[in-house]
Amino acid sequence: MLKAIGKAINIRVSGYAASRIPIIVLGNSPITENYQQKVDFLKKSGVIQGFWSLYPNPTTGHHIVSTSERGFQTFFDYNQVRKACNMLLDMEMYYFSTMLSRDKLGEYIRVSSAGKTNVEKAEKFLELIRS
């Protein structure tokens, strides 16, 4: 798990071309309760689009099937995996991460809000944070 997180971060910081690459960690076992908040935060922040388990019955006892934000999901058949992959690939997502002061962030939001469409606003905002 930690190695996968490290590799994902390495991809994310490798350059702007990597900002459009969806990252999924495939596994065959459930996560522990200690990782629930971590995987959901990593998904919510965009570093990783999900931790997917392809083995629906890893133990006879209780195990986590899915976290509240779906950062971790267990798939029970091929159609579920295919549908999730297609949804992920159909979305045009862009990862961005930066540390800005509130003042600078507000300036970027103000400047980018001059765009006529949401796409124009998003493109301007991404251009500003990358400059």
d(CA 6, CA 23): 12
Domain boundaries, the chain: 2-90, 98-131
- 32-38 — which CB contacts under 8 Å span 24+ positions? 32/64, 33/64, 35/1, 35/72, 36/64, 36/67, 36/68, 36/71, 36/72, 38/5, 38/71
What tens digit of pLDDT does each residue of 12-53 get?
888 888 888 999 999 988 888 999 999 999 999 999 999 999
- What is the total residue count of the chain? 131
Asked if the model's pLDDT at residue 59 lies above 80, the reply is: no
* Structure confidence at residue 106 (pLDDT): 96
Q: CA angle at residue 88 from 82 to 92, to 5 degrees?
A: 150
Q: What band does 56 get if pLDDT is binned at 50, 70 and 90?
A: confident
Asked if the model's pLDDT at residue 58 lies above 80, the reply is: no
